[in-house]
Amino acid sequence: MAYSYFSNNDFFQSIEDSFNNHSIENNLNVTLSINYFSMLNSTQNRQDLFSSIDYLLQRKSNKYDLYIFDSFFLKELYPHFIDLKEYLDNEYIDYYNNETIKYNYIYNDKWIGLPLFIKFMVLYSNDFYLNKYNKEIPKTWDQLIETAQYIMEQERIENKNSHLYGYNGLFSDIKEGTISSINSISQFIYSCRDDKNSTVYPYIKSKITKNAFNKIKEIKEKVSMDELFKLSEHQTDTLLNEKNILLFAAFWNSELPNDNGLYNETLLPGLEEGISGSTLLGYNIGISKYIDDDKRNASIEVLKYFIDKEFQKEIIIKKFHKHSAIMDLYKEEVCSILDCEIVNNLQFPIRPMEVNNYNEFEYQHKYLEHFYEFLYGNKNVDTVVNDIEDITKFYYMDLDKDNIFGIVVFSVINIFVIIVFASFIFSLFPQFKQYYAMFDLPMWINYIGASMFVIYSVLTRFGEPTRFKCHIFILMVLTGYTMLYVPSLSFVIVHYPKWNNKYMEWIKNNEKKFSYLSYVIEALFMLLSAINPSFEPVRVYVESSKNYYQCEIDRKNIFGFILLVIEIVFHVVLFMTLVIFMILEWAIKPLRPYMKSMLYLLTLDGVAFFSIFLLEMISHGNYYIESLCPFTVLLMFIMKHIYLYIVSVWFEISTKKKAKEEEMVNDLLKFNNDGATTDMISGNIPNTDNTTNVETINNVSMVSDDTKKATYNMSQTTNVTYI
């Protein structure tokens, strides 16, 4: 089964007859029949044919033994073809083992097919107009613009109705033009690189790519027009057979008739002289893996005949003037037929093959949609390259200089850490030590350790996700809260008078061992999750937005799933036990303020965890919401910390300060009252403004009353610190 965009009826019929004659002469007992499709005998285009081939191969059809396919579809079709390296002699492999072109038929280190012939893009230059105005073939894009502008201006002076244009572009916006369009873009970007010896394809957001996009648009606007740039390959082929329409064109080599005589084929220009870029495609022959041994052996005989040096030289090159992928053939005899200078100086861009969840056509369509918004629309180049990158890029937070979101999140995390440590440092100062009296050093160590687990759990979302990172995030959060809950749990158990079984007695007598036991269990959970994580990162594709990763439970991993259930049950039991004991001890009046504070804080924790669940439910399709989900617990945690260890301490300091001021006012008031009485008894009343004296005394009395009230209210409030 074979397909060619341009009519090659004579070619395929000729090679079929050639092999069948060879088979008869050598008694191979193999007959070749080529079922050939082109635009002339079929309504199918490249995409349709690919779909037809893919449909047959997906069904493991044995209708065809060999397929001649465009190397553009190598990635999609490779699972269905045998690895030719396992069936061919080294002699044939060596013919085609060329580093610059073998990416067109090798994928995942498998030789999927070998090219019957290859083609590449060149610059077609109109000899008539170049000779008429004594201009040379351009070697840079700026030279092409300058030459085209000059000739077009002169022609319009000569003939106002001239329809001569400078460049075709081959950036078709129709479905059939996808392959040629994406190859035109690819080679143009490659031609704008800084160094001829550089073989690395420019990154989509690089300065090289942006310069290339801008130069394409400049060419269109100065020496061409939208309608001409949008022409398909078939329409361009028609124009190239006319003398007075195109000055220059990027097009596939050897597609024009040999006797055309209108255009000269040369290397495509570059941004700098000596730098170029030409896309290479091959018509690969692959052998289906779904046929029986007899047919496979017969197909190998056919393939060996077509890829042999003699056939490539005599039939492909000499008879049909097509190019072979055997580079050793381009010597004196062949160079009298083909332009070896072009072949030997071609600079092929190695097109990136990995496009993740898309097949080639889906990806190229999305790419072109964004590119055309720049080329034919008003979008700026920076927006477009970002949109193109977003097609296949998966976002996650990191500390790369371009990832502002990740840097901000990381900075906020460390600010939270500073707040926690600042509270501990303040507690060491003599003037503040009394406000942290119930915290000894072991309790601070426990609290800081718990804080580090909760706060730095968000760091597991930095970098590309892994199974372990997904699992350890949950464990870090739960471990942090376990370190907070367990001391409180042992406290309420110790102070509950009604239960006196051996387990409660053991906890009462071994509070620290109880805490250490829970920490050992947490460490065991972490170790097991590192060995067998129960989560896996899943790629989430978002149309017209940022793709991202999401951690999902791997239900196929039975051990990991059971481990996760045990972890969750363990922490839920701890939490519920604490709540039950708090309810039971509510009636104990001395403990009620502590229980009240604890219930408030536990409620806030519950709200935080529920918020995570809610955000996970609505985060599909939004990278930022997904990334900030862990922040809900962290934010609630740090708000509690600020309230308990900063605000409440500040409030207590302020209250004591007010009480001291009130005491001073009362002393002053008492002193004034005693002095006034003495004066009245002695009859020595000062000659002062009575109104002023009364007003001052009233104001002092008013401040005293308010301060007393505040002090009284504060004295009725028990300040409990939550551990």
Lowest mean pLDDT across 227-236, 261-270, 659-668, 672-681: 672-681
Question: Residue 1: its pLDDT value, please?
Answer: 65
pLDDT greater at residue 444 or residue 316: 316
When the candidates are 1.10.3720.10, 3.40.50.2300, 3.30.980.10, 3.40.190.10, the CATH number that belongs to 120-280+380-387 is 3.40.190.10
Confidence of residue 671 (pLDDT cuts 50, 70, 90): low
The span from the CA of 517 to the CA of 511, in Å, is: 10
Residue 623: its pLDDT value, please?
A: 82
Percent above pLDDT 90 for the chain: 32
Q: Which residue in 204, 544, 209 sits closest to 369, CA to CA?
A: 544
pTM: 0.73
Cα–Cα distance, 80 to 55 (Å, whole number):
11
pLDDT digits (tens, 9 = 90+) for 491-533: 777 777 666 677 777 877 777 788 888 888 888 888 888 888 8
Domain positions in the chain: 2-117+282-339, 120-280+380-387, 393-650, 651-715
Average pLDDT value for residue range 546-571:
86
CB 8 within 8 A of CB 54: no
- Alpha-carbon distance 637 to 584, whole Å? 26
pLDDT of 259 > 60? The answer is: no
What is the dotted CATH code of the domain comprising 2-117+282-339? 3.40.190.10
**What's the gap between Cα 520 and its chain centre?**
38
State the chain's maximal CA–CA distance in angstroms. 150
Q: What is the pLDDT of residue 383?
A: 93
What is the number of residues in the chain? 723
Q: Could you tell me how far CA 570 lies from the centroid of its own chain? A: 36
Q: Which residues sit opposite 552 in a β-bridge?
A: 536
The model's pLDDT over 610-650, given as tens digits with 9 standing for 90+, comes to: 776 676 666 567 788 778 777 777 787 888 778 777 777 77
**Number of Cβ atoms within 10 Å of the Cβ of 166:** 24
Residue 555: which pLDDT band, with cuts at 50, 70 and 90? confident
**Mean pLDDT on 365-375:** 91
What is the model's pLDDT at position 48? 65
Is the pLDDT assigned to residue 675 strictly greater than 80? no
Average pLDDT on 101-118 reads 91
Residue 411 binned pLDDT confidence (cut-offs 50, 70, 90): very high
Compare 93 and 693 and report the one with higher pLDDT. Answer: 93
Q: How far apart are CA 699 and CA 98, in angstroms?
A: 99
- The rounded mean pLDDT for the chain is 81
> What does the pLDDT read at residue 380?
94
Same fold, 2-117+282-339 and 120-280+380-387: yes
pLDDT of residue 355: 58
The pLDDT of residue 270 is above 90: yes
Predicted local distance difference test score (pLDDT) of residue 685:
38
| Topology (CATH level 3) of domain 393-650 | Rhopdopsin 7-helix transmembrane proteins (1.20.1070)
